[in-house]
């Protein structure tokens, strides 16, 4: 009976808010920034999955221990990968390619389209002049 009562108390205590309202606000903000690894595009703050409960408890524990927001993000990223971050870091060349790549492809496609149209016009004008 004691084991059952203890397990119920632990289960209820895992989602208990922090005593300091400022720290709890930080925890809630971080919970909205981190993705539940078991759910599809759902923040930890809204997920009912058991892993999300563990993640919320870990966030609160780390903040209670004095960790900064970035340290919490880094810990989750090292454990679950960059997928856990709703706003992934654009690092180095790969980040630049992700942001600039689509625009660059659009410009290259437009240039190729213009050159092709220009060449077809020139070819058709040449064919018409040869026929005349």
45-94 confidence digits (pLDDT tens): 999 999 999 999 999 999 999 999 999 999 999 999 888 888 776 666 66
Q: What is the pLDDT of residue 91?
A: 63
User: Are 33 and 86 within 8 A, CB to CB?
Assistant: yes
User: Are 89 and 82 within 8 A, CB to CB?
Assistant: yes
SS3 92: helix
| pLDDT tens string 103-119 | 999 999 999 999 999 99
Which two three-digit tokens encode residue 19?
Answer: 């005593």
| Residue percentage of the chain with pLDDT more than 90 | 48
Q: What is the pLDDT of residue 132?
A: 61
> Between the CA of residue 89 and those of 61, 75, 96, what are the distances in Å?
24, 14, 11
Average pLDDT of the residues in 120-124: 84
Average pLDDT of the residues in 14-29: 82
Average pLDDT in the chain: 83
């Amino acid at each position: 009976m004691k084991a059952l009562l203890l397990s119920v108390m632990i289960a209820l205590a895992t989602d208990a808010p922090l005593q300091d309202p400022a720290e709890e606000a930080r925890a809630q903000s971080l919970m909205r920034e981190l993705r539940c690894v078991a759910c599809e595009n759902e923040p930890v703050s809204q997920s009912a999955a058991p892993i999300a409960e563990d993640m919320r408890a870990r966030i609160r524990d780390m903040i209670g221990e004095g960790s900064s927001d970035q340290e919490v993000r880094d810990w989750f990223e090292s454990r679950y990968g960059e997928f856990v971050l709703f706003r992934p870091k654009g690092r180095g060349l790969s980040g630049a390619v992700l942001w600039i790549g689509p625009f660059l492809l659009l410009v290259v496609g437009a240039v190729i389209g213009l050159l092709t149209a220009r060449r077809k016009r020139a070819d058709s004008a040449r064919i018409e002049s040869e026929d005349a």
